[in-house]
Structure 1
Amino acid sequence: MTASLPRAPARAQSFSVVLAIELWERFGFYGMQGILLLYMVQRLGFGDKQANLLWGTFAAITYAAPAVGGWLGDAVLGSRRTMLMGGIVLTLGYALLGFDFGGQMALFAALSVIALGNGLFKANAANLVRRIYEGDDAKIDVAFTIYYMSINVGSTFSLLLTPWLQQRFGWGPPFFVCSAGLAFGVLSYLLFRSRLQHIGSAPDFEPVAWGRMGAVIGAMVVAGAVLLAVLGSPSLGRGCVWLAAIVTLGIWIYLYAKAEEAFRPGLRLAYLLIVQTMLYFIFYQQMVTSLTLFALRDVSSQFTLFGHTLFSMSAGQFQALNPLWIMAASPVLSWVYGTIEKRGWNFPIAEKFIAGFALVALAFLIWWWSAATSTTLVSPWVMFWAYGALSVGELLISALGLAVVARYVPANVGAFMMGSYCVSNGVAMYLGSIMANYAAIGEGVAATDLVTTLHAYAGLFRILFFTAVICTLLFVICLPFTRKWDAQHRAAQEQSEA
């Protein structure tokens, strides 16, 4: 009687392991994000422009780093091992913020460690989800939508918790809570990692190469020193952002030139949709920068209904409206996608992106109108409804950006393309910080001067509204091309499977 091989865990079991550690990673990152800009402005005394640009540089580095992390996962350490290492490094980075040394260099050091950890973690976690559902386009869309919804549980809780902790216990404890949450996520992954034993890139199925591991750790130390210099120099940071964009574009061109003819329509469509997602992140960056400062200076904290106060939110907590809306809308969108598939209808990703950008335009129209017409503090319900439009737009654009890579990019460069997708988003977030500085309040203006601050934010939101409208129209014009490339990609897939 022959011994039977152990059966591979079900897809849902494998998916749940990645989902759990991603949830805690988002808990840490968004908890930090909820108070970091306020930490710069209120604790360290940064001006608006300095804080916005530092956050933009950090965001660009944080989103660009997964391009390297994806390559390490694909070719050097393996996706599972690289993701785990990233979780450990991120835990250390949040702990460094928790010590609250109060100096700029200490801040730069902590942010450098966090950027490195995110680079190792982000692309590989997404690539594992892609590998779990590889070959099933319908389930990929649903899986990434659920993935996006579920990880927002962690971000919602931390965005509500860390500003509350900061107001009551100071700046250090909330950062330590971010670190402790991710430490718990790493421990949970270690306990259940056997459910991913059949999922990963080629190096995951080989013994650990300790020489490679040592080389990676050494390279990380050098990279951390470089990032410390970049974060401390705005001009150097700006140069690095543009260099990353140019290098990524060059690699895209190289991959396209080397790709087989059958893969090229899918790559063209992937590139176009990634650029559209990149544009979305210019608007997304406003949540962390201009919208947080708008909430701090010009928005009432008290939610009232018929004259009765329901609850209040601080400036940092308003960011939690984004994941709250995402969690509420994700099941609805997943149901819509499932219903469309069952009835044989077609709602391509490119058309979802157009609907998403229309909602982005609506969000900034609401913010523009409220800032332009108010003479007193703006009602927080304005933030509630505008965040709703922006967040549903995010689900239609950013959540499916990952699905674009999973669907249209060849598997052998999957993790790298996940990383380069993140690079493009990082560049966009840097541009978003530059846009936010159009509403930067000068040193001679009091933060309580509503006339000046409302006028500044109204001007910024007007620009963003018209930009979103133009983007929506351009994407409509591109529809014939996206439909053609999608049809060619599907035909090539069917031919290869025949």
Structure 2
Amino acid sequence: MTATASTPTAPQKGFFGHPRGLSTLFFTEMWERLSYYGMKSILLYYMYDQVVKGGLGIPSGTAKALVAVYGAALYMSGIVGGWVADRLLGSRRSILYGGILIMFAHICLAVPAGRGALYASMVLLVLGTGLLKTNISNTVGGLYDKQDTRRDAGFSIFYMGVNTGAFLAPFIVGTLGQKVNYHAGFSVAAVGMAIGLIQYVLGQRHLGDAGRLPTNPLTPAERGRFSLIAGAGVAALVVLVVVLAVTGVLTADLVINVITALSVLVPLGYFAVMLRSGRTTAVERSRVVAYIPLFVASVAFWFIQEQGASVLAQYADQRTDLNAFGFAIPSSWFQSVNPVVIIVLAPAFAALWMKLGTRQPTTPRKFAYGLLLAGLSYLVLVVPAVVAGTGVKANPLWLTVSFVLVTLGELCLSPVGLSATTKLAPAAFAAQTMGLWFTSDAAAQGLSAQVVKLYTPATEAGYFGVVGGVVLVLGVALYLIAPAIHRKMQGVD
């Protein structure tokens, strides 16, 4: 059977005027994000901190690049997670299995077993996030009819759940990790994911048919071929990794370069597949074409936003006056600025889009606003370096303002991008297109891995000025071509 119902079967009221199932997905994502962002708030420090202080002693430049390619692999795995949901499991079971893998990933980090546990955790988290993150967002879309004017508002509310978990994470996991030890923080991340799984299992009854069945299931013959090909592929990959490791070729730089290349090639290949597929109609093909510049804009936005866990995390730790207000601020706490702004303002943005209705800015214009704000967020950080020099630690307000600006851009782009993806996706590639959306983040972080190593206090002003200026120019260009993109969207706002 194929899940093709055009009318949602989930209860349409029960959660602030939205489908009741939104509450199940809201809290599942909240707990998953608490575990993920908690881990992420201390991961860079755990990598580059000295071994005698409980860290792994990895050089800071390599650590920043590894954090970036780790993020790239996480979001790239969404393509696989979307395919598994579309053709094998459906979104609902994919979410469950993904959450289980994520929980075990955090358990690996909770054990003080060195770099081996770190790499095992990375593999499990990449696989688990690929299954969960793509499909939970796609299931949110399945709660609404495609013409339901509540959709953007619903995604904004869902996004607030994401950021509630992200806000709490640095205060809980980050504080434990930096004040007690890193493994205590990672243990809390594992517990958070376990709570999210329990909540999800108990609340599935409110989802109706959303995500219950694959949208384009494999036939029995295709399943047999898939099992053979997948088994052979996994075996070949294991052999290749073992050979590279034994011969000494498998280095951090090799992994970084391979993931960077894949993060760019995978979305390019997937756009080609969707555009050439016989299952994509002429109208859907036009919408995919319109989606391409939005995808590029998303890459540019996340290129800056995701450096909050690498470049800006190092800036917070080494270049910010953490005693400016009379008490020591753990550097991980700055990771909460982004989610707290979203928690405060996401309802306002949701209400604004609902109030404006058909008069709200088009999706391409919202994306342009997001890029403009992201560019400004980096240009702001040029000021303390130029005015006071890099030998004097910066007031934490500069970093706070930078995080606030990029977060305002995120509210213009990210929840809107999730909603637009569910509306512009070809029917045969529904969950996979959501995976494609997340590969924009993967491409951003893959490219970032090649650039973040250039950041040092000596290059600070130039680094922030060039990166921020390029993204600002892209925002202006997108604003100017927005009407042409909107026409290609064929009636989708």
Quickly name the TM-score band, shorter chain normalised: 0.7 to 0.9
Question: Cα distance, 1:180 vs. partner?
Answer: 0.4
Show the 5 A alignment for 1:122-133: 122-133=133-144
CA distance in structure 1 between the partners assigned to 2:236 and 2:46 by the alignment:
25
Residue 466 (str. 1) matches residue 469 (str. 2)? yes
Matched-pair contact (CA < 8 Å) for 2:373–2:406: yes
Tell me which residue corresponds to 2:3: none
Matched-pair contact (CA < 8 Å) for 2:156–2:346: yes
Question: Cα distance, 1:118 vs. partner?
Answer: 0.6
Question: Cα distance, 1:264 vs. partner?
Answer: 2.5
CA distance in structure 1 between the partners assigned to 2:89 and 2:186 by the alignment:
29
CA distance in structure 1 between the partners assigned to 2:227 and 2:333 by the alignment:
41
Tell me which residue corresponds to 1:276: 297
Matched-pair contact (CA < 8 Å) for 1:131–1:199: yes
Matched-pair contact (CA < 8 Å) for 2:150–2:354: no
- Pick one of 30, 50, 67 that aligns with 2:62: 50
Matched-pair contact (CA < 8 Å) for 2:101–2:128: yes
Cα deviations by residue, 1:53-93 (Å, 9 ceiling, x for unpaired): 11122111111001001111111011100110000000000
CA distance in structure 2 between the partners assigned to 1:280 and 1:8 by the alignment:
34
For 2:483, what is the secondary structure of its paired residue? Answer: helix
Residue 324 (str. 1) matches residue 340 (str. 2)? yes
Matched-pair contact (CA < 8 Å) for 2:260–2:449: no
Tell me which residue corresponds to 1:21: 28
Tell me which residue corresponds to 1:483: 486
Residue 248 (str. 1) matches residue 267 (str. 2)? yes
Structure 2: segments with no counterpart, 5+ residues: 1-8, 14-18, 50-54
Query: Root-mean-square deviation (CA), in Å?
Result: 2.8
Question: Cα distance, 1:348 vs. partner?
Answer: 0.4
Distance 1:415 1:204, change over 3 A: closer
Question: Cα distance, 1:221 vs. partner?
Answer: 7.4
Matched-pair contact (CA < 8 Å) for 1:163–1:316: yes
Show the 5 A alignment for 1:277-426: 277-302=298-323, 304=325, 309=326, 312-341=328-357, 344-375=358-389, 376-426=392-442
Cα deviations by residue, 1:383-438 (Å, 9 ceiling, x for unpaired): 22221111010111122221121121123311001111212311211212322211
Cα deviations by residue, 1:291-349 (Å, 9 ceiling, x for unpaired): 11111111011353xxxx4x6532211111111111122112112111211xx424101
Amino acid at match of 2:403: Y
Tell me which residue corresponds to 2:445: 429
The share of aligned pairs that are identical, in percent, is 26
CA distance in structure 2 between the partners assigned to 1:253 and 1:142 by the alignment:
31
Tell me which residue corresponds to 2:72: 60
CA distance in structure 1 between the partners assigned to 2:210 and 2:232 by the alignment:
27
Distance 1:17 1:36, change over 3 A: same
Distance 1:298 1:92, change over 3 A: same
Tell me which residue corresponds to 1:69: 81
Residue 238 (str. 1) matches residue 267 (str. 2)? no
Amino acid at match of 2:272: I
CA distance in structure 2 between the partners assigned to 1:111 and 1:117 by the alignment:
10
Distance 1:31 1:354, change over 3 A: same
CA distance in structure 2 between the partners assigned to 1:201 and 1:413 by the alignment:
16
Cα deviations by residue, 1:10-62 (Å, 9 ceiling, x for unpaired): 35211111111111110111000000011001011111221011112211111
Structure 1: segments with no counterpart, 5+ residues: 1-6, 441-452, 492-498
CA distance in structure 1 between the partners assigned to 2:272 and 2:11 by the alignment:
38
Residue 160 (str. 1) matches residue 171 (str. 2)? yes
Amino acid at match of 1:369: V
Amino acid at match of 1:476: Y
CA distance in structure 1 between the partners assigned to 2:160 and 2:347 by the alignment:
8
Amino acid at match of 1:112: V
Cα deviations by residue, 1:104-124 (Å, 9 ceiling, x for unpaired): 222111111111111111111
Matched-pair contact (CA < 8 Å) for 1:80–1:204: no
CA distance in structure 2 between the partners assigned to 1:227 and 1:371 by the alignment:
43
CA distance in structure 2 between the partners assigned to 1:372 and 1:434 by the alignment:
25
For 1:489, what is the secondary structure of its paired residue? Answer: coil
CA distance in structure 2 between the partners assigned to 1:139 and 1:76 by the alignment:
30
Amino acid at match of 2:481: C
Matched-pair contact (CA < 8 Å) for 1:116–1:224: no
CA distance in structure 1 between the partners assigned to 2:290 and 2:345 by the alignment:
26
Amino acid at match of 1:62: L
CA distance in structure 2 between the partners assigned to 1:61 and 1:130 by the alignment:
24
Tell me which residue corresponds to 1:4: none
What is the TM-score of this pair, normalised by structure 1? Answer: 0.86
For 1:198, what is the secondary structure of its paired residue? Answer: coil
Amino acid at match of 1:38: Y
Matched-pair contact (CA < 8 Å) for 1:108–1:232: no
CA distance in structure 2 between the partners assigned to 1:424 and 1:222 by the alignment:
29
CA distance in structure 1 between the partners assigned to 2:321 and 2:341 by the alignment:
20
Matched-pair contact (CA < 8 Å) for 1:116–1:220: no
Show the 5 A alignment for 1:121-270: 121-203=132-214, 233-258=252-277, 259-270=280-291
Cα deviations by residue, 1:104-163 (Å, 9 ceiling, x for unpaired): 222111111111111111111111011111313522211111111121101110122222
Matched-pair contact (CA < 8 Å) for 1:273–1:404: no
Tell me which residue corresponds to 2:126: 115
Residue 40 (str. 1) matches residue 47 (str. 2)? yes
Amino acid at match of 1:283: I
Matched-pair contact (CA < 8 Å) for 1:25–1:185: yes
Matched-pair contact (CA < 8 Å) for 1:140–1:406: no
Q: How many residues align?
A: 460
For 1:114, what is the secondary structure of its paired residue? Answer: helix
Matched-pair contact (CA < 8 Å) for 2:290–2:486: no
- Bigger mean CA deviation after superposition, 27-36 or 372-381: 372-381
Question: Cα distance, 1:243 vs. partner?
Answer: 3.1
For 2:22, what is the secondary structure of its paired residue? Answer: helix
CA distance in structure 2 between the partners assigned to 1:237 and 1:168 by the alignment:
31
Question: Cα distance, 1:201 vs. partner?
Answer: 4.8
Tell me which residue corresponds to 1:87: 99
Tell me which residue corresponds to 1:101: 113
Tell me which residue corresponds to 1:495: none
Question: Cα distance, 1:483 vs. partner?
Answer: 3.0
Distance 1:71 1:320, change over 3 A: same
CA distance in structure 1 between the partners assigned to 2:462 and 2:148 by the alignment:
42
CA distance in structure 1 between the partners assigned to 2:336 and 2:393 by the alignment:
20
Distance 1:277 1:170, change over 3 A: same
CA distance in structure 1 between the partners assigned to 2:235 and 2:355 by the alignment:
51
Question: Cα distance, 1:359 vs. partner?
Answer: 1.2
CA distance in structure 1 between the partners assigned to 2:306 and 2:10 by the alignment:
41
